Homo-oligomer: A and B are copies of this chain.
Amino acid sequence: MLNIEEISSPLEPLFQRLRLRDRLSEAEHLALAGAMGGTLVVTEGDEVVEEGDVPSHSLLLVDGLAARYRVLPNGSRQISAFQVAGDFVDLPSFTLKVIDHSITAISTCRFITFPHKELAKIVEDYPHLTRLLWMTTLLDSAVQREWLIGVGRRSSIQRAAHLFCELGLRLDVVHKGQPEHFGFPATQADLADALGISLVHSNRVIQSLRVMGLLEWRRGEIVVPDVSALHRFADFDPTYLHLDHHPR
């Protein structure tokens, strides 16, 4: 007899992410565990997938920080998402086939591969689990939409504050950090590309947050002295993270 606790440990972040939103049956736990392929480790700074790839498997991030991005012809880079443990960084390729953006490892990342063939079996046999996997892609999409709203209509300082509110909560869900203290192994250049501002400006934004007492950031660690103050400053409303439990 398989023991969920034993086989599932690398999948725990995904399970936590799913179980926060809905019940996950034992059979569904096992189905996911059974669909696992191998492990993939990508060292800091390397590419995980590149624009134009047509992967035969999807990647679940189980440890580390990754970034989805595109580089424009003029050389500038825009990061469209940070991915943390429990995020299926590559699930869109299951139905979209061709990857339309690249993914890089901000810190060294550990992934679990899920062959598309195995995912297709889940779609055949586990309709509820299928909806949950579908949901995870829509969660990513909701976060991305919030970023779009921020880049379009929030000041760069608010946007930075908003990002740190978001990351704190998302890491909390998968027990990889807390809203008041979590790892963020990115550089100020990475942050600039995520916020859609220049490197110099990103430095000044961080300094502003520091002097306002809203943020500390040293050696890859973020400390938020007063979480609710940061939330207020950022006009942060976590609705878009869909942290609530529903039958889906």
Contacts and interface: CB of A to CB of B under 8 A. Distances in A.
A151 B154 contact: no
A117 interface: no
Contacts of A77: 153
Interface string A93-127: 01111101100000000000000000010011001
A137 B151 CA distance: 22
A3 interface: no
Interface in A185-214: 193, 195-196
Interface string A210-248: 000000000000000000000000010001101010101
How many identical subunits does the complex contain? 2
Interface in A57-89: 68, 70, 72-74, 76-78, 80
B139 A141 contact: no
B248 A95 contact: yes
Interface stretch (A6-14, A26-34, A142-150, A165-173): A142-150
Chain A interface mostly helix, strand, loop or mixed? helix
Interface of A: 51-52, 68, 70, 72-74, 76-78, 80, 92, 94-98, 100-101, 120, 123-124, 127, 130-132, 134-135, 137-142, 144-145, 147-149, 151-154, 193, 195-196, 235, 239-240, 242, 244, 246, 248
